[in-house]
Structure 1
Amino acid sequence: MSSRFRLSALALSLALLGAAPLVQAVESADGTSPAPLAGKATLPLDELRTFAEVFERIKTAYVEPIDDKTLLENAIKGMLSNLDPHSAYLEPEDFKELQESTSGEFGGLGIEVGQEDGLLKVISPIDDTPAARAGIEAGDLIVKIDGQPTKGWTLVQAVDKLRGKAGSKIVLTLVREGGKPFDVKLERAVIKVRSVKSELLEKNYGYLRITQFQVNSGEEVAKALATLKKDNGGKLGGLVLDLRNNPGGVLQAAVEVSDHFLTKGLIVYTKGRIPNSELRFSADSADASEGVPLVVLVNGGSASAAEIVAGALQDHKRGVLMGTDSFGKGSVQTVLPLSNERALKLTTALYFTPNGRSIQAQGIVPDIVVERGKVTHDDGSSQGLKEADLSGHLGNGNGGADKPSNGKAAPDTSKPQDEDYQLSQALNLLKGLNITRKP
């Protein structure tokens, strides 16, 4: 990794995440707070007098006594709540959970949530978690939590309700694609997120899945690529990079992963108002993937940092993007620690792909649209007679064995592509690319 990736304290505090702080956190390189804001705005004295007057009226006239701390913290939350869905005031417990989450282990259900028209929406379930095992899908609306309607809740409120002690039970009422509400009963668990998974789909073709961008994801991807090449005799013929239902994560990890597939050029840049918020990240000449033919899978659950990687690879024409439109979160959140173990998670910039595309509210459009589906297998019993079935047929002049219609073996369903239509299409595309590349 080149020196261009040694970020400032502020840069390292940028976390590009799907939505709520279920799976998000970053830390500065040296533990210090981000750079101070430039300039001092003139104080709005009239508005501050109004605020003080309202504060005093509530203190003296509200039907029940209310302490200063509660009033002031509610005021701070109100300032953040009307900015955008991703800015929030983090109290000590929320801040601690946010810091822990990129270590890959935290308590809860394993879902990334956002808001849409005041409703709580699943951005993506995380692999191998209670939510994924219960069949919760990206796009599901959570209309109730333990019987309580969620409409109008903030994301912080929703996360507080979703989290809990491992082993405790929770009931989510979901609405899927405009259908009728249905309940899903889950048991909370300690969520241990394995950021990177890999395996050979078949000889010559590798599969690399990134479930979430954590601090060490770049290093894990490099190791996975080396293992895949070793398992295949030293070189791969093609690779599927699966970013589906990846809610995002740490910006630096997205840059490092992109750099493993690129040898030059811009990866991503950001634009904002505060010092050091306008950042540019470029690839170095090393290529851990060794130029392997690449297909990248994305869907509506691919958000933020996942979209950075997909957008960079698409703009550089490094791989073919396949699947459905991504989520469309193109804003940057900076974690600004406060002096009392609290923090602000504040939207401070927008990020752009190498060609200058803003993904915000639009997403990445794949090169080849492939909707989700399930692969079914035909046992071959419906096909008609072949020449080799006919009595007295001539043999193959080159000495090849006869292939009658009933001689087809049942497919091996032990590989992920056998049940995943999008993945099977990605693998077929890689095979086609290899046919045309060979002399």
Structure 2
Amino acid sequence: MKRVRSTFNNSPLRCLTLAACLFAAPGLALAQDPEAQTQQILEGIQNGERVQIQLPDPEEQLPLDELRKFTEVFSRIKAAYVEEVSDRKLLESAIKGMLSDLDPHSTYLAPKDYEQLEESTSGEFGGLGIEVGMENGFIKVIAPIDDTPAQKAGVLAGDLIIKLGDKPVKGMSLEEAVKLMRGKPGTVITLTIMRDGEVGPIEIDVTRDVIKVTSIKSRMIENGYGYVRITQFQAETGSQFRQALIGLEEEYGSDLDGLVIDVRNNPGGVLQAAVETSDALLDEGLIVYTEGRIQSSRLRFSAKAGDIMEGTPIVVLINGGSASASEILAGALQDHGRAVIMGTQSFGKGSVQTVIPLDETHAIKMTTARYFTPDGRSIQATGIKPDIVVRPAELTELDGRPFFTEADLSGHLEGGNEGDSRDKQDQDTESQASAAERDYQLNSALNLLKGMNILNRKEQDKNQ
């Protein structure tokens, strides 16, 4: 028989190709190194053993057909698009498409976008003062920021922006829409919006301005009851929150009887700031944890010992504009039973974005994890459900005094201090009516705190 000479020439790659047709006996483990694996296969063949090669998982291989499509589209655009397009622009557009198609919060940050992101987290930036996202191809207002042009002009959480000036937003990316909304301070842009309850579109003129966000606002709403408004979670919010609580107690001259924390229309911000704010009110336990595919996205944040309010009753106000870091705070206090959550269901942004620099001027903002409350609840797309649902309302107080009283009887016996009492009662009634008209949810929170305080005092008296 004529012997045919092999043309493989002992090439390792060719040997692997030949050996791929054979099968292995059970128990034969092949080395991971390609050269060592090749030698092991050859030895197995020489010894008459059946050798099995573990082929790569097709699911883990590069999708060659899709890559061919990409290069084909790239070539056709370069050759036939109506205007000449640079390779750089096409590649940047491809990167933007990869990220924007993942979820509404992942995006490519060109130099100007990167700079604007850093400005917004530091507390001063230009524009209208609204946090926005994408919904069905339109721009949705997550929340207007307090004391900004958008809020003063009447933009509300949940508004759907369909036109910016004379340009429809359908088909725009979120980055393109944000660029149009930003501009020189003093210039006016007309927002055309759709709003629940309105028959047709509404046009709102907003004057651009430099946005300086004050993260924390605090005041006494009534003797013994403090109010802290958190407009946005910035780098210094945690320390500012502690300072605000200390300032309220110094103003009152004693420990507070109750506290309202208002995070309505707070679009979120820095994760660490929400953790620090929660930590100020918790004595121990888990605050929030995150879960993602990479190890660095799996984090756990726990409270250090020491509740700055020492158990003072707290009500947290939330609504559909409360998102992200606001929901972390509300969820942590709710799970630990540290506060009563009041208002309406929150926005439901339970994902964490990481800014990954590519170089000194470019970065990507990418969703890398979901966050969970201490009890393991994911807020993503579900939000925080309040313990007590209180919807926004405006009340008109009716005259609640009796039609006919003892004081109206002819010759009634004087009480000695009825004049002062009546005057004080009328003043208190007017004050409460005014508060209810301004903010029904806040007034409901105040009444709840008063009720909790009364019950606590009765319980203390009972135990003495």
TM bucket by the smaller chain?
Answer: 0.7 to 0.9
Q: Higher mean Cα deviation, 355-364 or 47-56?
A: 47-56
Shift of 1:394: 4.1
Correspondence for 1:5: none
Q: Secondary structure at the match of 2:411?
A: coil
Cα deviation digits, residues 335-380 of structure 1 (max 9, x gap)? 11112611111111100000000011110010000000124344x4
- Match runs of 1:336-347 below 5 Å: 336-339=356-359, 341-347=361-367
Q: Aligned partner of 1:248: which letter?
A: G
Q: Secondary structure at the match of 1:296?
A: strand
Correspondence for 1:133: 152
Correspondence for 2:268: 248
Q: Secondary structure at the match of 2:255?
A: coil
Shift of 1:54: 2.0
CA distance 1:229–1:417, shift in 2 (3 Å): farther
- Match runs of 1:13-162 below 5 Å: 42-162=61-181
Shift of 1:71: 0.8
Question: TM (normalized to structure 1)?
Answer: 0.86
Q: Is the 8 A contact 1:324 1:369 kept in 2?
A: yes
Cα deviation digits, residues 390-433 of structure 1 (max 9, x gap)? 1133455xx66376799734624898666110000000000000
Correspondence for 1:35: none
Q: In the aligned structure 2, how far is the partner of 1:169 from the partner of 1:414?
A: 37
- Match runs of 1:228-377 below 5 Å: 228-339=248-359, 341-377=361-397
Q: Aligned partner of 1:96: which letter?
A: E
Structure of higher CA gyration radius: 2
Q: Secondary structure at the match of 1:429?
A: helix
Q: In the aligned structure 2, how far is the partner of 1:91 from the partner of 1:407?
A: 61
CA distance 1:282–1:51, shift in 2 (3 Å): same
Q: Secondary structure at the match of 1:112?
A: strand
Residues paired across the two proteins, number = 396
Q: Secondary structure at the match of 2:105?
A: coil
Q: Aligned partner of 2:442: which letter?
A: L
Q: Aligned partner of 1:160: which letter?
A: K
Shift of 1:53: 2.5
Q: In the aligned structure 2, how far is the partner of 1:134 from the partner of 1:414?
A: 26
Q: Aligned partner of 1:315: which letter?
A: D
Shift of 1:153: 2.2
Shift of 1:278: 0.7
Q: Aligned partner of 2:369: which letter?
A: A
Q: Secondary structure at the match of 2:161?
A: strand
Q: Aligned partner of 1:344: which letter?
A: I
Query: Which segments of 5 or more consecutive residues in structure 1 lack a partner in the other structure?
Result: 1-40
Q: Is the 8 A contact 1:376 1:419 kept in 2?
A: no
Q: Is the 8 A contact 2:138 2:162 kept in 1?
A: yes
Aligned-CA RMSD value: 2.1
Shift of 1:139: 0.8
Shift of 1:165: 1.2
Correspondence for 1:211: 231
Correspondence for 1:34: none
Q: In the aligned structure 1, how far is the partner of 2:132 from the partner of 2:279?
A: 28
Q: Aligned partner of 1:58: which letter?
A: I
Cα deviation digits, residues 5-51 of structure 1 (max 9, x gap)? xxxxxxxxxxxxxxxxxxxxxxxxxxxxxxxxxxxx75444433332
Q: Secondary structure at the match of 2:122?
A: coil
Q: Higher mean Cα deviation, 178-187 or 385-394?
A: 385-394
Cα deviation digits, residues 252-277 of structure 1 (max 9, x gap)? 00000000110101000000012210
Q: Aligned partner of 1:124: which letter?
A: A
Q: Aligned partner of 2:99: which letter?
A: L
Correspondence for 1:408: 426
Q: 1:184 aligns with which of 204, 212, 232?
A: 204
Q: Is the 8 A contact 2:233 2:269 kept in 1?
A: yes
Structure ranking higher in helix proportion: 2
Question: TM (normalized to structure 2)?
Answer: 0.81
Shift of 1:234: 2.6
Residue identity over aligned pairs, in percent, reads: 59
Q: Is the 8 A contact 1:389 1:405 kept in 2?
A: no
Q: Secondary structure at the match of 1:408?
A: helix
Shift of 1:222: 0.5
Query: Which segments of 5 or more consecutive residues in structure 2 lack a partner in the other structure?
Result: 1-59
Q: Aligned partner of 2:456: which letter?
A: R
Shift of 1:161: 1.0
